[in-house]
Structure 1
């Protein structure tokens, strides 16, 4: 009789361990998918911005044809950023930094583009330009929100796969830490405004 209880206890421990492993694995898969979804939302917003840029550039071209260098910089930055794609499955800190740099170049080029509009009062009053500028501002806000959400989901996922005992299951099934979006270089300094 005592031998039966030992066997039943061992079987119960094994069943509990297997059920815990299955539950943990499924939880990790769900969190991994949440991180992937958050990444897709970030990419979606960057794509939205890239899609708006040609319309903005063409609107500005009509008013500021001699600002060719700035317009070319925006078009070039957009082309570079849209060529630089990163799969969520291949998202390393280095690739994320390169992706951020390319997106940062678009932001800088757009900043220069919007700055030249100060010299063109007719352009600033143009309804198409105002609508595009408002859409770009909204898109920049959406990008910021989606990047924050990505970082939050990556943090939750990273925390889960590093905590004991889930780290054992994560290690067995190859769940790896996800990188975060970080502030762009030089963003710790306030921009200098000159009049």
Structure 2
């Protein structure tokens, strides 16, 4: 083998060795962007629900004026969600808001006129669709996080991840109270 052929083989070897980290880095960047996009989709759907809630609450208030605590709980939960800065805080605030909404919708059962109100029915349908979108967005986010975290832990990506500061991402988990059924007291 002549000298120029050896040089070409050495250069080709170096390029192949360099291609592995570059491909791993780019793959981690793409997966991290998927996580960020999925997180934004959750935020978008949570905001959609937050935008629907005042209209729903206003409609119910006209019929159920004595149910003031539920309206306060909803307002507080919406404030917590608006102030959430990380996935865990969002999940906890989301759980609180979902619980308050469940109690609100259970209260509606005591008001047949409200259930037949077209505005309330439209808002309920929109809210139900939004809840479904939120569930899908959460699943998509967790899938993105799982793909990203798996990639950053596998060899040789784990070396690249540590060199370039790719941090593990948190899954979207419901808070501890999410398993509890909301209590509704119709005696007040």
| Superposition TM-score, scaled by structure 2 size | 0.88
2:78 match = 78
RMSD over aligned CA atoms reads: 2.4
Shift of 1:23: 1.8
Q: Distance in 2 between matches of 1:188 and 1:76?
A: 20
Q: Distance in 1 between matches of 2:77 and 2:28?
A: 37
2:121 aligned with 1:145: no
Which of 1 and 2 has higher RCO (CA within 8 Å, sep 6+)?
A: 2
After alignment, is 44-53 or 63-72 more displaced? 63-72
2:20 aligned with 1:29: no
Deviations 1:4-43 (A, max 9, x none): 6655443322211212222221121111111111111011
Residue from 123, 132, 155 that aligns with 1:132? 123
Shift of 1:182: 2.1
Q: Distance in 2 between matches of 1:175 and 1:6?
A: 37
Shift of 1:188: 5.4
Specify the SS of the correspondent of 1:63: coil
2:163 aligned with 1:164: no
Q: Distance in 1 between matches of 2:28 and 2:89?
A: 27
2:102 aligned with 1:96: no
Structure 1: 5+ residue runs without aligned partners? 87-94
2:65 match = 65
Shift of 1:44: 0.6
Shift of 1:64: 1.0
Report how many aligned residue pairs link the two structures.
186
Residue from 120, 128, 139 that aligns with 2:111? 120
Specify the SS of the correspondent of 1:181: coil
CA separation of 1:190 and 1:109: change in aligned 2, threshold 3 A: closer
Shift of 1:190: 7.5
